[in-house]
Amino acid sequence: MNEALIILDKNDGPTSFDMVREVKRLVPGAKVGHAGSLDPFATGVLVLLLGKATKLSGALLNADKRYRATMKLGSATDTMDLTGSVTETKPLPDLSPEV
């Protein structure tokens, strides 16, 4: 296999590098990279590139993207994500859209 672009729907748990390592195990000797990282707790699209396709990494990283997220508002953590300890909570203002 000279080159490939693999689109993975990553579950929570593994890191982006864990997924690269798994593909390297399945395709011994292949040059493998990824076009963007997902935190271990994040789920969603992870683009893996094999062989000559790794040259696409820069273009994919700089491409326009859209994200969908679930957020918890009103809390701050020491890691700035859901893995940290809550350091502050505040009540939320009215967030209903203006009519």
User: Could you give the residue numbers annotated as active site?
Assistant: 39
Closest CA to 49 of 59, 39, 40: 59
DSSP state letter for 76: E
- In angstroms, the CA 91 to CA 77 distance is 15
